[in-house]
Chains A and B, each alone.
Chain A
Amino acid sequence: MVDGIGGSGAGRAAIEAALKQIRSQAQEMGAKAGGLEEAGASSEASKASFQSVLQEGIGTVEKGVEKTNNLHIDVLNGRLDIHEVAASLKESEITFQFALQVRNKLMDAYREVMRMSV
């Protein structure tokens, strides 16, 4: 094919064929890229919902822990029994441990992605 460059009509036809092939390939790539962009957009949407879910979860955990932090006032005012305080402390501890495990998993996933050789 290279021999035919600038030469005979047959060679030109070969070049044209090759260009055509490249163009069609580019088109195909473009379509694929478009598809990727679309996929990116949808992942954007899912990312947003994931983010909101995560934030909601963190809010829940924070509320639980905060509630326990305010308990000592209730105890001093005699509104609460000791066992309730202990139970509440344990509850917030377990809730926090749960949140910590979720966070650890997220960090693990992030590190795994960062370690990936491109």
Chain B
Amino acid sequence: MSSISNSNGPKKALDGVFRSMRIASSSLTAERTRIDTITKNIANARTTLVPGTGEPYRREDVSFAPIMERAAGGEDQFMGIRVEEILKDQSPFEEVFDPSHPDADERGVVLYPNVNAMKEMADLVTAVRSYEANLSVQETFERMADRALRLAE
């Protein structure tokens, strides 16, 4: 999705100057993906049948991994983070006895997703806080650059 913080592209001029800006940007993108996943979990909290799988919606979680780039000196340099993969939560589904439900099995039990709304809300709060923290980093960087340039006036 991101085309700015794409670290696989050619080395851009002023890259070093805006490094912290780019790292924070990559983190923002990752947090956005996390928030999207949490949104999906909350939206699907009552989805009893996902077409094609034959089972209820399975809770998803994201894992992050650092982006390392081989620098000129031969050392790996941290360039930001990215979403490594979207994991499926393997915890058991919730069983509810409801024979009138169209997705009930022969015992009259309906399987509900393994999504806990409280947990998702807590995750959402931490994701939003991380997002805000990275935005603060960018704001601080901007102020720093601004002050540094004012020194030249």
Contacting residues, chain A, for B97 (C-beta < 8 A)? none
The main secondary structure of chain B at its interface with chain A is helix
Contacting residues, chain B, for A84 (C-beta < 8 A)? 2-5, 25, 28-29
The answer to whether A60 touches B4, judged by C-beta atoms less than 8 angstroms apart, is: no
Contacting residues, chain A, for B153 (C-beta < 8 A)? 101, 104
In which size bucket is the chain B interface? 20 to 34
B64 to chain A, nearest CB (A): 16
A110 to chain B, nearest CB (A): 16
Interface 1/0s, chain B 16-31, versus A by CB < 8 A? 0110011011001100
Interface 1/0s, chain B 62-73, versus A by CB < 8 A? 000000000000
The answer to whether B28 touches A81, judged by C-beta atoms less than 8 angstroms apart, is: yes
Contacting residues, chain A, for B146 (C-beta < 8 A)? 94, 97
The answer to whether A94 touches B4, judged by C-beta atoms less than 8 angstroms apart, is: no
Contacting residues, chain A, for B22 (C-beta < 8 A)? 87
A91 to B36, CA, bound (A): 26
Closest B residue to A101 using CB positions? B152
Residue A74, interface by CB 8 Å: yes
The answer to whether B3 touches A74, judged by C-beta atoms less than 8 angstroms apart, is: yes
The main secondary structure of chain A at its interface with chain B is helix
Contacting residues, chain A, for B118 (C-beta < 8 A)? none
Closest A residue to B144 using CB positions? A94
A60 to B25, CA, bound (A): 21
Residue A111, interface by CB 8 Å: no
Residue A90, interface by CB 8 Å: yes
Contacting residues, chain A, for B29 (C-beta < 8 A)? 81, 83-84
| B→A interface (CB under 8 Å) | 1-5, 13-14, 17-18, 21-22, 24-25, 28-29, 32, 135, 138, 142, 145-146, 149, 152-153
Can you report 27 A-B residue pairs in the complex whose CB atoms are below 8 A from each other? Answer: A60-B13, A64-B13, A64-B14, A74-B3, A79-B1, A80-B2, A80-B3, A81-B2, A81-B28, A83-B32, A83-B135, A84-B3, A84-B5, A87-B4, A87-B138, A88-B4, A90-B138, A90-B142, A91-B18, A94-B17, A94-B142, A94-B145, A97-B145, A97-B149, A101-B149, A101-B152, A104-B152
